[in-house]
Amino acid sequence: MEGRKRIIFDKTHLPPAQFECVVIADTHYMIDVGDRPLEFESRRVQTQRAGTALQQVADIGADFVIHMGDLVQEYPETPDFKRAMLEARDQIHACNISPHYVAGNHDIGDKTDPTMPTHWATAESLAFFHGLFGPSWYSFDRDLCHFIVLNSQIFNSKLSEADDQWEWFESDLAAHQNQRLFLFFHLPLYLWDNDEPGLGHYDNISPPDRDRLFALIKKYGIELLFTAHVHYPFYDKIGKTRYFITPSVSFTRPGFGHLYASAPPPEQGRDDTGKLGFYLLRIRADHTDIHFIRTKGETKRPARDRLVTCTSATLSSPIGLTLRHPITPIAEVPIAYPSVIRQKVRNDQHLLACIELGAKFVRFPWRDLRDPFQRTRLEMLRTEGITPIATFLEPRITSLPEHIKANLDLIQNWEIQISNLAQLSGEVCETLNQCAKLAELSICPIIPNESVHGKQHLRTRMGYHFDELESLQNADIHLQRVICRVSPNESPWTYIQSLSERKYSNIGHIDISLELDTQNDNTNARRIAEATFAIVRLPGARLFVDPLTDFDRTMDVTHGLLDTLCNPRPPFHTLRCLNT
């Protein structure tokens, strides 16, 4: 392997862990084809990408590794399959890694479905895999945790091994039900939900075995479920079980490019390198932290060391995000190879990016709470350590108390958006005083008719200027929080410094809204760095960065922390590292 001998993964800022585990998937070792024409040019570098990722897995120094399957690009019917499997195993061993192996469809065959593009798993393919790597269903212990590996390719199969696996699995669960349980298999249990069709769907386990698995996961309170296969990251919850689908380190699957309001990623969506990577699991006494280590398709070891940053659950941070898009957009992958039905899917990239960044707060329009699906996703954010803050803009503020009471199970923080600076009087103050006994409130004014350089039309500002805060001194109310906006032509450092030198007797905390307004990532990163350093001058304040994702088809075009493919831009990593 060319490049540096070893990368240092700096974990000094992370809380202590009992032990660590790496989960890597879909390495797809490919035999060198020389100059032969290929359907996708990125296939020429798959093996190098996998090798570089495996070297990083070794460098990170986890206690053990789980490989989620699909070791090779070949599959059991191809003439070079056995050679590829042996070479893939040698590549892994050359990196000084001895993983726990999960069987994938490229390793033993497809699921039992007459529409699948390759042959089903057979007794012969199972025997070959077992001879190389040992049993494809097994379990092991680490401290008080119990790890279970299953073979998803033989669910719903008539093979005798399928019955053997079920009998063993149910017995193993019952015997270890008092331990923390972690479950791993290759095929996703589902992509959208447990009721989606299985026949013709390339990316899930079909009923009835899916239903049987689902019931056991809920019955035994599995702590973590990991699957793979789709080469894209997804996240869901099954009761209290956190359910992660692991991306590949080698390439992405083309169909999932339909998730984005953008041009397709390179190679018809197959080479979206920003999504490639593996997971580092850090098991602590009361929680498991999931860190996404991005490999980005690199074919040589990076020239710099890596800071492993904290996730939201382990940070006490002022950093928040403003959600102009829903936290989880929805799309349908059209009927396209290798599936023969449409696939309803979520875009979980926003949600996963919030966790990776270590964000502690998100602002979102309160009406998302009326959408059962989006409400569920906001609940998931909260369980991952992120506080959702509902922004409220309605003609009658007197309706606010009933909305707060109706959502107390999820939302304890509300931002009241007021369309007139003079509104803080009379009935408004009375309502706010009443609501302040129910939840924490922030006040954010909406000010129209603002002149902006280079724009024909006047714009609407959201947030106070600090010179407007003086007018609040006369309001007959104590304001728990107010939102101030740093305009694009102001230095965040100077602005926040000026605020820190002023005292307001009836304002508890001043939060900052930092709106990015340029397509220059260096400028955005600099402004984020200034604001992040400066915000500590305002104890208890929050810093909201906006937008999370690019705006590329509006009157006000700007880059966000993520591009339109939901891949991080440089300011994302600036904020992620400074946040830790």
Give the span between the Cα atoms of 511 and 572, in whole angstroms: 20
pLDDT tens readout for residues 83-126? 999 999 999 999 999 999 999 999 999 999 999 999 999 999 99
CA count, 13 A, side-chain hemisphere, 312: 23
Instruction: Please tell me the predicted confidence (pLDDT) of residue 2.
Output: 47
Task: Give the strand pairing for 100-101 and 64-67.
Answer: parallel
3-state secondary structure of 136: coil
Buried b (16+ CB within 10 A) or exposed e, 75-106: bbeeeebeebbebbbebbeebebebbbbbbbb
Residue with tokens 């061993």: 93
Instruction: Please tell me the predicted confidence (pLDDT) of residue 6.
Output: 78
Please name which of 124, 192, 143, 529 lies closest in space to residue 348, comparing C-alpha atoms: 192
β-sheet bridge partners, residue 551: 558
pTM of the model: 0.96
Query: 547 preceded by cis ω (within 30°)?
Result: yes
Under 8 Å CB-to-CB from 258, ≥6 apart: which residues?
A: 331, 332, 333, 334
Please name which of 359, 393, 262, 371 lies closest in space to residue 326, comparing C-alpha atoms: 371
60 neighbors 6 (Cβ within 8 angstroms): no
Q: Could you check whether 20-299 and 319-579 share the same CATH topology?
A: no
Give the span between the Cα atoms of 545 and 492, in whole angstroms: 12
Structure tokens at 445: 């004014």
Structure tokens at 429: 């103050």
Structure tokens at 176: 């270890």
Residue 1 has pLDDT above 50, yes or no: no
Please name which of 395, 464, 402 lies closest in space to residue 428, comparing C-alpha atoms: 395
Q: Is the dihedral of CA 25, 29, 30, 32 positive or negative?
A: positive
pLDDT tens readout for residues 295-342? 999 999 887 899 999 999 999 999 999 999 999 999 999 999 999 999
505 exposed, middle or buried (CB, 10 Å; 0-12, 13-18, 19+)? Answer: exposed
Q: Which amino acid is at 56?
A: Q
What does the mean pLDDT of the chain come to? 95
Under 8 Å CB-to-CB from 538, ≥6 apart: which residues?
A: 496, 499, 500, 509, 510, 512
pLDDT tens readout for residues 488-519? 889 999 999 999 998 888 899 999 999 999 99
Residue with tokens 């098991």: 283
Structure tokens at 90: 């040698």
Residue 3 has pLDDT above 70, yes or no: no
Residue 120 DSSP one-character state: B
What's the topology of domain 20-299?
A: Purple Acid Phosphatase; chain A, domain 2 (3.60.21)
Structure tokens at 389: 């803050």
Look at 131-135, 222-226, 452-456, 570-574 and tell me which has the smallest mean pLDDT.
452-456
Mean pLDDT for the stretch of residues 539-547? 97
Please name which of 268, 269, 312, 273 lies closest in space to residue 290, comparing C-alpha atoms: 312
The domain locations on the chain are: 20-299, 319-579
Give the span between the Cα atoms of 254 and 72, in whole angstroms: 18
Percent pLDDT > 70 in the chain is 98
Instruction: Please tell me the predicted confidence (pLDDT) of residue 421.
Output: 62
Instruction: Please tell me the predicted confidence (pLDDT) of residue 423.
Output: 66
3-state secondary structure of 139: strand
Q: Is the dihedral of CA 252, 254, 256, 262 positive or negative?
A: positive
3-state secondary structure of 515: strand
Q: Which amino acid is at 219?
A: K
Look at 35-49, 127-141, 307-321, 380-394 and tell me which has the smallest mean pLDDT.
35-49
Helices (H), 242-371: 349-357
Under 8 Å CB-to-CB from 113, ≥6 apart: which residues?
A: 120, 198, 199, 200, 206
Buried b (16+ CB within 10 A) or exposed e, 121-147: beeebbebbeeebebbbebeebeebbb
Instruction: Please tell me the predicted confidence (pLDDT) of residue 5.
Output: 67
Mean pLDDT for the stretch of residues 54-74? 98
Residue 351 has pLDDT above 90, yes or no: yes
Q: CATH number for the 319-579 domain, one of 3.20.20.70, 3.40.50.740, 3.60.15.10, 3.40.50.300?
A: 3.20.20.70
Give the span between the Cα atoms of 569 and 567, in whole angstroms: 7
**What's the gap between Cα 132 and its chain centre?**
34
Residue 322 DSSP one-character state: E
